[in-house]
Chain A
Amino acid sequence: MRIRRGIVLPAFFFIFVYGSGLFFAPRAEAAFGISPPFLGSDNLIPGTRYVQTIYLVQDQPTEDLAIDANLDIHDRIRSWFTIHNGNEIVIPKGTRQFPVEIVIQVPKDAQLGAYKGALTFVGKPARTGQVTIALGAEVTINLTVGTGIYRKVTVQLIRMLDIEEGWSPRVYVKFNNEGNVPEALDGATFDLYDQYGAVRLAYIPSPKGKMPETPPFTVKEYVVEFPLDLHLGLGQYWGSVNFSQEGKVIASQRTVFNVLKRGSLSTPFEKFMQSFQNQLAYYVIGAIIVIVGGTFVVRRRRRL
């Protein structure tokens, strides 16, 4: 028995000491970071408005998280910066990725040159223990203000939209102007095919109206309408669209779209306007009959 007690008691002690260490070991704390960790552009020109979104990212959003944004830059360019969310940010509980939009407005009389600085996001945790650990992340700022024109555009997304009977084909475009001058697509074509994509029904050489201009450093989403003198019945069709700039096709898409029943996509206001447009012809014809009939009656009475 003594031997057993001699083994059992130290064993309990061992389990208590090391076991408590296991059960009460410091738990892994939430990670914190930023994406992307850099801000700015090498292609700014005086008068440019540059907008960038930095995401504050955490993996365990169990509580609201208070964050201070501190801008460490030369006083000469401090007024160029606006943090849309303000300098004191609260990331709501449950949010893993919190966008912070930063606007840099380069004045028209800005001095050309390279500017550097930092934007730091610092967490303000509730205190625990003697020395609480707070997490932060630093965004490196690099701006170059020059005079050279920089052009770069991409079409990030093309989607053929479903339409209603009587509508013309419509194409959604997501256009990214990464350059420092305004840009626009200057040409587009649309080929319409039957539901098997085998027989071409129409060729529409250009969209309705001029395509919108996208400001520098901006992503713009818009819908391009291709006017069609053909009534498309209900069903599925294939479309093939090409977008070009300066005579060169820079994006294309070939896929299906649906023609749906009238009224299935319209907003209430559009429906009202459509019903008015549909009835307008009847109103006009009715008015002509009344005028002509009235004139005839009046003339006849005069003769009598």
Chain B
Amino acid sequence: MNQPLSRSIVPGLIMAVSLAAAFMIVQTITPIGSDLAFAGTTATSTVVVGNAAPTVTVVTMNNGTDVTLTTNTTTNVSVNATISDNNGCGDVTGASASTSIVLYRSGVTSSTCRGSQNALNCYLATAFTASSTCASNTTNTTTTFAVQYFAQATDASSSFPGDNWQATVIFKDTSAATGTADSLGGSTPNVLTLNAINVTTSSVNYGTLSASSTSGSANQVTTSTNAGNSTTTIRLSAQSTLTSGANSIVTSSQRYATSTFTFPGGATQLTESAVTVTGYLLTAPTSTGNVQQSPVFWGLEVAAGTATGTYSGVNLFTSLFQP
């Protein structure tokens, strides 16, 4: 019974496999739906790849830390950002791509800052440096700003304790589509208050005075300027009294005033401990060309019996923050 059955099945199987193989060969050469199968029919596929807007992410100012300024000069503050464009690196690095990076005190806002800039609270750059090669449609960028020493502070004791400093990066790809992002908001990073002065003379020279005489109306002048971003006053003291070998001139023999005087006039006697100079205030600069400077006038009395010699000492100017 089995043998006749196998005899009838086997040829059938061989036939079926042969047919399937033939079909597969034909299908491989001329698949169904091909031009050969349906001669005279054509189908054209077109697709327009549209422009994807770029994306700006991870805008970071000064690595998220507070900015400490440097007296009398600028301090570099970096703004980092990541720029991506799904149309590829050509859209990021293309010659017609453009960028605006603004660094500003938050109270100023990025839109205002883009309109007009000043060294107190708003800086603009129009180019960045790629800090990585563009790969997988993305590049990392860095922009460095030279922030002036009088940029407005935003820490707790400043005039803007509710503000912080922020950065905004606006990027336009080669098709002028825009991506924009701000650095993290909140209470940081701040520009810290910098209290500093610069005295434009390194020493005071009274010249030659004989014993039992004074400098009279011949005042010596020291001029101080504000080298920070806060209002400051000064405190004066003798760090080292005038000495010549074993001989000395008492500290109180030196006098100072904020206006010219004929010794002793109304001038204040110098002391060993620091004393705040009354009425002396240096407000924070508002630009490099607007730096307040104020003089202090000095006079000296050489008491009778003072031995001859060249006397030298050190006077200390201490800056004191005035909130």
Q: Mark B123-163, 1 if CB is under 8 A from A, else 0.
A: 00000000000011110000000000000010111000000
User: With an 8 A cutoff between CB atoms, is A282 at the interface?
Assistant: no
Chain A residues near B138 (CB-CB < 8 A): 236, 256
User: With an 8 A cutoff between CB atoms, is B165 at the interface?
Assistant: no
Q: Mark B38-67, 1 if CB is under 8 A from A, else 0.
A: 000000000000000001011010011100
Which among A124, A236, A251, A255 has the highest number of chain B CB atoms within 10 Å? A255
Count of A-B contacts judged by CB separation below 8 Å: 212
Q: State the main secondary structure of chain A at its contact with B.
A: strand
**B203 touches which one: A30, A36, A129 (CB < 8 A)?**
A129
Size of A's binding interface in residues, CB under 8 A: 58
Do B82 and A255 touch (CB < 8 A)? yes
Bound-complex Cα distance A15 to B261 (A): 31
**A155 touches which one: B68, B184, B321 (CB < 8 A)?**
B184
Chain A residues near B186 (CB-CB < 8 A): 154-156
Chain A residues near B199 (CB-CB < 8 A): 29, 133, 135
Bound-complex Cα distance A253 to B84 (A): 15
Do A136 and B188 touch (CB < 8 A)? no
**A134 touches which one: B193, B298, B315 (CB < 8 A)?**
B315
Closest B residue to A176 using CB positions: B188
Chain B residues near A28 (CB-CB < 8 A): 198, 200
Chain A residues near B153 (CB-CB < 8 A): 36
User: With an 8 A cutoff between CB atoms, is A19 at the interface?
Assistant: no
Interface residues of B in 68-126 (CB under 8 A from A): 68-73, 82, 84, 86
User: With an 8 A cutoff between CB atoms, is A81 at the interface?
Assistant: no
In which size bucket is the chain B interface? 35 or more
Do B197 and A31 touch (CB < 8 A)? yes
A122 and B63 contact, Cβ closer than 8 Å, known pairs A135-B199, A157-B184: no
Closest A residue to B202 using CB positions: A29
Bound-complex Cα distance A59 to B204 (A): 22
Chain B residues near A57 (CB-CB < 8 A): 68-71, 194, 196
What are 14 pairs between A and B in contact, CB < 8 Å? A29-B198, A32-B197, A34-B195, A36-B157, A37-B157, A130-B206, A131-B312, A132-B313, A132-B315, A133-B203, A195-B136, A196-B86, A256-B84, A256-B138
- Chain B contacts to A: CB under 8 angstroms: 55, 57-58, 60, 63-65, 68-73, 82, 84, 86, 135-138, 153, 155-157, 184, 186-189, 192-206, 222, 225, 227-228, 230, 235, 239, 242, 254, 274, 298, 310-321
